[in-house]
Amino acid sequence: MTPRPSDQTRPPYASPQKKPHGLSPLPAWVEAYFRRTADLRAALRLGALVVWVPLSVGFEACLLLVPGTPKIRWTRVIWGVLCRIIGLQIHVVGQRVGTVGGLKARQRGERPVIYICNHMSWLDVPVLGTILPSVFVAKGDIEKWPIMGLVSQIGRTIFVSRQRSTTGRERDEMIRRMVEGDNLVLFPEGTSSDGSRVLPFMSAFFAIAKLPRLKEGMDKSLLPITFEPGMTPLIQPVSLVYDRLEDLPISRLRRPVFSWYGDMDLGPHVWALLKWKRSRATVLLHEPLDPDMFPSRKALAQAAWKAVSIGAAELRQNRKPTVIKGRFNPATLPVNFLPPSVKKAKRILDRTASFFASIRIRL
C-alpha cells in the first residue's frame, strides 16, 4: 500500500509525544520540571511579599509619629528585604554623597542632595530605596492606585501632577521637605524606557535646585519658602542598569525581563520576574554637581544627563564603569564623602561649631 502524500510530507516529530517544545534541546519532561519549579518559586516569593509588605509598611506608619530619622532608616530596610525576597542583588560603584539627613543635619550645615537617575522599571524604586536615604518624587497618578498609592503615601512620597496650576505648590513642598532634612530621588526623563538608552532630561525637574532670583521690588510671596545661603541642594547623577540574570550578562533580548514601560501590565511583569532565580542591578554613583556653578538649569540638566548616559552605556556593554567627575566645592560636601584623613578633623570642627552656636543662642 502506497502511503498518502500527507504521510510522506509529515515531519518525523509530528507525533505529540516526540514534538519538541520550541527550540529547546531538552526533553519535554525536563522543561516541564523547570517550569513547575519556576512557578513554585514565584508563588513562594509572592506569598512572602504579601506577608512582608503590609507588616513593614504598617510599622513605618507608626514611625511617622516619631521625630528624627528612624522612618528614613526603616524605609531602606523595607526595600532591602523586598529585593532579597525577589532574588535581586545590588552592586554599588562609587560613593553616595548624602547622609541619612534629618533636621539636625541641616542645622549643622549639611546640604540636601537630589539624586538624579535614569528610569526603566518599577524595580528602580526598591533598588534605589535600598541604598539611598531619600524620598521619591512620583507622578500624581500613583497616588490613586489601590495598594501602591497607600504604600507610597506612608513612604512619604511626593506626588506631582505636572500641571501649571499646581507647579508652585509642588515646588514648595519639595523645598520644604529638603529644608526639614529629606533628600530626594528624581527621574527627570519623565517616563520609563526600555533600558536601551537614557532619554533626554527635562530641565523643569531641576527648578528646585536652581531657584529663580527675585529682583528688587518683586513680591516675595512668589517664593514663600527657599534655601538658606549655602544650603542649596547638591545634584548627584546616578546610573542604574540591570546587568545580570542567572549570573549571566544581560542581552538586549532579556531587557524586557526588568524594563516596565509603555502599556505593559504590571501583574504579568511581576509574575514573570519572580520566576527567575537570581538577578543583579548595578548602581553607579557619580561625583556631585553644585547648581551654583552652572549658569542655568538647562546647563545643569545637560551635565547630569551626560554623566548618567555615559555610565549607563558602559554598564550595558559590560565594561568597567567610570565615575564621572563632578563640579563642586569640596568644603561644602558632607563629611562621609571626604577622604578618610579629612573626615575626622571635619567632624570635630563641625561639632565644635555647633556647640558654640548653641551657647550663643542660649546667651
Which region among 41-55, 70-84, 317-331 has the lowest average model confidence (pLDDT)?
A: 317-331
Taking 60 as the threshold, does the pLDDT of residue 156 lie above it? yes
pLDDT at residue number 152: 83
- Mean pLDDT throughout 281-287? 96
In the DSSP assignment, the letter for residue 333 is S
Asked if 187 contacts 201 with a C-beta cutoff of 8 angstroms, the reply is no
Residue 207 CB coordination number (10 Å): 15
Task: Look at residue 2 and tell me whether its pLDDT is greater than 60.
Answer: no
Q: How confident is the model at residue 352 (pLDDT cuts 50, 70, 90)?
A: confident
Q: Residue 148: pLDDT above 80?
A: no
| H or E stretch covering 158 | strand 158-160
pLDDT class of 21 with cuts at 50, 70, 90: very low
pTM for the model: 0.83
Q: From 3.40.50, 3.30.310, 3.40.1130, 1.10.10, which CATH number describes the 29-208+230-260+267-332 domain? A: 3.40.1130
Q: Report the range out of 3-17, 136-150, 166-180, 260-274 with the highest average pLDDT.
A: 260-274
Q: Which helix (H) or strand (E) holds 93?
A: strand 88-94
The helix (run of H) or strand (run of E) holding residue 95 is none
Nearest to 256 by CA among 248, 268, 246, 247: 268
The pLDDT score that the predictor gives to residue 216 is 60
* pLDDT tens-digit readout, 237-276: 999 999 999 999 998 889 999 999 888 888 999 999 999 9
Cβ distance 212 to 280 under 8 Å? no
User: Domain limits of the chain?
Assistant: 29-208+230-260+267-332
More confident residue, 11 or 244: 244
Contact 237, 95 (CB under 8 A): no
Neighbouring C-beta atoms of residue 133, cutoff 10 Å: 20
User: By mean pLDDT, which of 80-94, 141-155, 237-251, 279-293 is the weakest?
Assistant: 141-155
pLDDT for res 102: 87
Average pLDDT of the residues of the chain? 84
96 or 342, greater pLDDT: 96
